[in-house]
Structure 1
Amino acid sequence: MTDSRKIRVAFVGTGGIANAHAEALRQQPGVELAVAVDLDASRAEAFAAKWGITRTAASLAEAIDGGRLDLVAICTPPSSHFPLALEALSYGLDAVIEKPPALSLSQMRELEKAEAASKGKLSCVFQHRFGSGAQRLLALQESGALGKPLVGTCNTLWFRDQPYFDVPWRGLWDVEGGGPTMGHGIHQFDLLLHLWGPWAEVTAFAGKLARRTDTEDASAAVVRFESGAIATIINSVISPRETSYMRLDFENATVELEHLYGYSDNNWTVTPAPGQEDAVELWKQGEDLASGHAAQYQALIRSIQHGVHPPVSISDAYATMELAAAIYASSVSGTTIARGQINEISPFFTRMDGHLEPWKQEEALNA
């Protein structure tokens, strides 16, 4: 789409996260918030009134019948992401999928195939990639200023009480696809993979330590990258002092990021190795762009306007989803999992817990 027409956006699902999408899209020039789609008509109408949207609909098909659309923001619970993305592609529409983009690696492959046969393109919401801190760090890595990546820490330590999990669609493998590994920490370790490149193998543990839920409430993993670098990843929703923390040790500097749900340049710290103080001076250059939906939509809308593939494609996101699947597979099987090992014949290819419901069984044994 390279003409000057406004990009008309439909919001499918008008719950809490849809507001983040609407706020981000409202900041982008050349965008029209066109229609709010929700099975709950009153919720759709309230959302439309809040964001100045003139039309509501009960389905994507109804929304299309009412006028031209260009982009669909899928803001529904995780189990509906896959069918809604397929539906958007069947109409030739571009779509943005909230995390996780699908519930399994099998669904991710099906989305790749459907996208290849459609005029539409898919983009996955991994907004931490788009802050200026991440962009600057990528550039410094590529320049060689930081030296080799060596050792990393990637922690998502959040707190969700029991009432959070008592919502009917939460904490279920068939609905959310997993616990904090899938639905919370995935943003932070996606950023880690974006920065440090392909992972090679992982050994992990996970369990249900404090919450009544079918999925895990915490996981911990050790990941070796193809570069040889090693990192630990912890994903938790039972940690009273909440933080999202990443530490990346390179030959020439330690780079740290601490925030909660999004960062600016102020959340980063660079500590040079002795004699490598130039790394800090290089870090201070450039604009300060906060991570978040607005930063990702800025890149996405630009890609649509110029007719190029949007950032964070299904294929781009597959490596992140594959690591989530490998963390589950390793924790359930007690073995180290290599990238590429979870293929079509693996039970973990079609469901993150391998259809074994391990922590549900553990709870039954301990009852």
Structure 2
Amino acid sequence: MAKRYKVGVIGCGIGRSHISEGYAMHPDKYEVTVLCDLDEARLNAVADEFNVAGRIKSSDELMAMPDVDIIDICTPPAIHTKLILQALAAGKHVVCEKPLTGSLAELDDVVAAEQMAKGVLMPIYQYRYGDGVQQVRRIIESGLAGKPYVGTAETLWKRNAAYYDNPWRGRWATELGGVLMTHAIHLHDMLTYLMGPIDRVFARTATLVNTIEVEDCVSASLLMKNGALVSLTATLGSQEEISRLRLAFENVTFESNHSPYSPGDGPWRIIPANDEIGAKIGALLEGMPAVGRRFNGQMEAFYRTLEKGEKPPVTTTDARGSLELIAAIYHSNDINSDVALPITKGHSKYISWRP
């Protein structure tokens, strides 16, 4: 009989979305038994909504609960590393929101801990899930798309002073970065999920929209390891919110939907070079099962890997790619030159990308 995993969630902000879109969509696979939050009103509101009996304010208490299988970390970013290491040491499986850690050095500490741990760690990158992005991934992996040429990734969102009227947002010490870290990180992960790893980065960052410490506008140029050229644009000053990928390959051009928070959903525009390619793509996608969107799809995929004893569907290696890109963008802006990846021990941004 398949196991039903008991979950404890730390942080009832984005944690509520993990429950409503993820765990609650799979009641045969997961049971959220405990919620942990310092805000008692928010804790009780979410617990009441989902009929969760366990309600605590101490993460230490949650770590010590023997009947909790998975700890899902949805706190502000600065304490992610501490909680991940604590949960792995307690023998739990761990799910953690972005960013996984506050530096590449911390990420290497987490990787070392995971290698010795009983449980596994899955970073959250929910934009990988949905019919649109998964169909495109299948086409690319089949070889039908051919050689990649260029791509654009646009994260054009709106955040104002009211959003930053919060004790941890907009500050290097607690948010760890700006639009790159909190907003564009998911679309940029989707980009590399489809276009492969990055070789070099040139970038500019600026704080133009809000009076905050961190950046809220970015422009970057990427050279991918497969030779493709990609441009990234991100801002928190767009009057219309969209997230958009457009990828030009030898045989197909792809364009995501423009939904700011679920660009992985279908349909995507799939524009073949000719009728023959179009027919092959149609045959490839025929009968492809539907893929759950966002947290739904990721939690379903996570369950399958837990049951099979496989690595999770999103790994610390994937998280490293995201954090290396962010560190490279900050470094490129600082030195006014392009930056080669990977960023490893000894690099000036390895210990911290924060100024």
Taking structure 2 as the reference length, the TM-score comes to 0.93
Distance in 2, matches of 1:328 and 1:134, equals 28
Aligned position for 1:157: 156
Map of 1:30-45 to 2, 5 A cutoff?
A: 30-45=29-44
One of 13, 17, 20 as aligned partner of 1:20: 17
Distance in 1, matches of 2:175 and 2:103, equals 10
Q: What code does the residue aligned with 1:324 have? A: I
The 3 A distance-change label for structure 1 pair 223 and 53 is: same
Deviations 1:277-321 (A, max 9, x none): 335534753244353111100001121122222121112221121
* SS of 2:43 mapped into structure 1: helix
Contact (CA 8 Å) 1:271, 1:280: kept in 2 or not?
no
How big is the shift at 1:37?
1.0
Distance in 2, matches of 1:171 and 1:103, equals 15
Number of equivalent positions: 350
Structure 2: unaligned runs, 5 residues or longer: none
Q: What code does the residue aligned with 2:143 have? A: G
Distance in 2, matches of 1:282 and 1:11, equals 42
* SS of 2:156 mapped into structure 1: strand
Contact (CA 8 Å) 2:133, 2:266: kept in 1 or not?
no
Note if 1:6 corresponds to 2:16.
no
Q: What code does the residue aligned with 1:138 have? A: R
Deviations 1:22-63 (A, max 9, x none): 111011122111101122334322221111111112223312
Aligned position for 1:186: 185
Aligned position for 2:349: 348
The 3 A distance-change label for structure 1 pair 223 and 283 is: farther
Map of 1:225-264 to 2, 5 A cutoff?
A: 225-258=224-257, 259-263=259-263
Map of 1:293-304 to 2, 5 A cutoff?
A: 293-304=295-306
Deviations 1:199-250 (A, max 9, x none): 1001001101121010111111110111100000112111111100100000
Aligned position for 1:333: 335
Aligned position for 2:282: 281
Distance in 2, matches of 1:64 and 1:83, equals 12
Aligned position for 1:313: 315
Q: Which moved more, 1:257-266 or 1:167-176?
A: 257-266
Note if 1:323 corresponds to 2:325.
yes
Deviations 1:161-184 (A, max 9, x none): 122123120111111111111111
Q: Hey, which bits of structure 1, 4+ residues long, moved more than 6 A?
A: none
Aligned position for 1:358: none
Aligned position for 2:123: 124
Taking structure 1 as the reference length, the TM-score comes to 0.90
Q: What code does the residue aligned with 1:39 have? A: L
Contact (CA 8 Å) 1:79, 1:177: kept in 2 or not?
yes
How big is the shift at 1:147?
1.0
Distance in 2, matches of 1:172 and 1:121, equals 30
How big is the shift at 1:265?
5.0
What is the identity percentage for the equivalent residue pairs of Structure 1 and Structure 2? 33
Q: What code does the residue aligned with 2:15 have? A: A
Distance in 1, matches of 2:138 and 2:350, equals 34
Deviations 1:87-107 (A, max 9, x none): 101101011111111121111
Q: What code does the residue aligned with 1:232 have? A: S
Contact (CA 8 Å) 2:130, 2:266: kept in 1 or not?
no
* SS of 1:164 mapped into structure 2: coil
Contact (CA 8 Å) 2:127, 2:264: kept in 1 or not?
no
